Amino acid sequence: MTVAMDKSGGAASNAKHEKSLVVDGVRQFFGTKGAKVHALSRIDLVIEPGQFVCLAGPSGCGKTTLLRLIAGFMRPTEGQITVDGRVVSKPGSDRGMVFQAPTLYPWMDVRQNIELGLKFQGVHKAARGIESERYMKMVGLSDFAERKPYELSGGMQQRCQIARVLASDPDFVLMDEPFGALDALTRERLQEELLTIWRETGKTILFITHSVEEAVFLGSRVLVMSRRPGKIVLDEPVDLAVDGQRLPVAELRSAPAFVALRDKVRDAIQASM
Ligand SMILES: Nc1ncnc2c1ncn2[C@@H]1O[C@H](COP(=O)(O)OP(=O)(O)O)[C@@H](O)[C@H]1O
Ligand SMILES: [Mg+2]
């Protein structure tokens, strides 16, 4: 999918805020009077359909908290989050979350875990089979369809979780450092697969990462959050195309535009610590 990007890295001017995700004046506190933690300062954010937004920032700055609020696992202390104009109050099948640590049902095999969301959606067996085959292949688990989670490495469990979320076809894919525990080669392969899925499906992705390189490589827009209480201190569109063409992966990471943006994001994180 090639879309023109506006200044915030979003789909071009005709974007109608349909399915936009809006974070409006969100502040988050945890705990009671004695030991109150101010996790999010005030977050205002509009994520347009089809954006691939990477969120980086120092550990403990509230990245996971923001993602959990968007997923609907809890309500913000102040402010609200809307999708398509409707206030988010609980989890929904329009938002799929990939957790930092794999969360699989231990009594189900890989195929059953991947098909679970589709089963809930009432997709019939044959169609579920086609989807699970497709996503198992994508994450390299085709030969492990009948294995249970305890028979898999941590990285394989994580790949299974990613396949499960993608197979259920949410509009918003919320990913909390999903590749953090993977070896470098697997990580690079999955980064490229994820970009392909994003281009083909036009899904909106919100992706938390510790890695500045990963943020710039994957994102169409990169956000940096300050240390707690977290607020957005940098919001940059990513445009690494040369003559309208995205550079091949092998050239991208050493391209001057890539290096310049990586350094800018890195400086913003360091300044915010
Ligand atoms: N459920 C909770 N109860 C109390 N404190 C929490 C809870 N969740 C997160 N926090 C605190 O909020 C802050 C932000 O946490 P988190 O969102 O996990 O940061 P990050 O993902 O950026 O590392 C941390 O100080 C953390 O300890
Ligand atoms: Mg976190």
Give the tens place of pLDDT for each residue, 193-251. Answer: 888 888 888 899 999 998 999 999 999 999 999 999 999 999 999 988 777 777 777 78
Cα distance between residue 213 and residue 266, in whole Å: 9
pLDDT of 172 over the 70 cut: yes
At 254, the amino acid letter reads S
Higher pLDDT, 99 or 242: 99
Task: Please write the tens of the pLDDT for every residue from 81-93.
Answer: 999 999 999 999 9
Q: How confident is the model at residue 3 (pLDDT cuts 50, 70, 90)?
A: very low
Say if residue 229 is preceded by a cis peptide, omega within 30 of 0. yes
Task: Please write the tens of the pLDDT for every residue from 129-168.
Answer: 999 999 999 888 999 999 999 999 888 998 999 999 999 9
pLDDT of 97 over the 50 cut: yes
Residues lining ligand 1, CB < 6 A?
30-31, 37, 39, 57, 59-65, 228
Region of 38 (left: φ > 0; alpha: ψ -120 to 50; beta: rest) is: beta
Q: Mean pLDDT across the stretch 48-52?
A: 95
Q: Which atom of ligand 1 lies closest to the CA of 67?
A: 17
Which range among 9-18, 206-215, 257-266 shows the weakest confidence by mean pLDDT? 9-18
pLDDT at 4: 42
Q: How confident is the model at residue 18 (pLDDT cuts 50, 70, 90)?
A: low
Higher pLDDT, 253 or 7: 253
Write down the mean pLDDT value for the chain.
Answer: 89
Contacts (Cβ under 8 Å, ≥6 apart) of 252: 217, 240, 246, 258
Region of 79 (left: φ > 0; alpha: ψ -120 to 50; beta: rest) is: left
Please name the CATH architecture into which domain 1-91+219-273 falls.
3-Layer(aba) Sandwich (3.40)
pLDDT at 15: 45
Cα distance between residue 107 and residue 31, in whole Å: 35
**pLDDT > 70: percent of the chain:** 93
> Which ligand has the minimum distance to the alpha carbon of residue 100?
2
Residue with the smallest CA separation from ligand 1 atom 2 is 30
Higher pLDDT, 2 or 55: 55
- CA 65 – ligand 2 centroid, Å: 7
**pLDDT > 90: percent of the chain:** 67
Residue with the smallest CA separation from ligand 1 atom 23 is 60
- CA 98 – ligand 2 centroid, Å: 12
Residue with the smallest CA separation from ligand 1 atom 20 is 60
pLDDT of 12 over the 80 cut: no
pLDDT at 2: 37
- CA 39 – ligand 1 centroid, Å: 6
Cα distance between residue 253 and residue 26, in whole Å: 35
Region of 140 (left: φ > 0; alpha: ψ -120 to 50; beta: rest) is: left
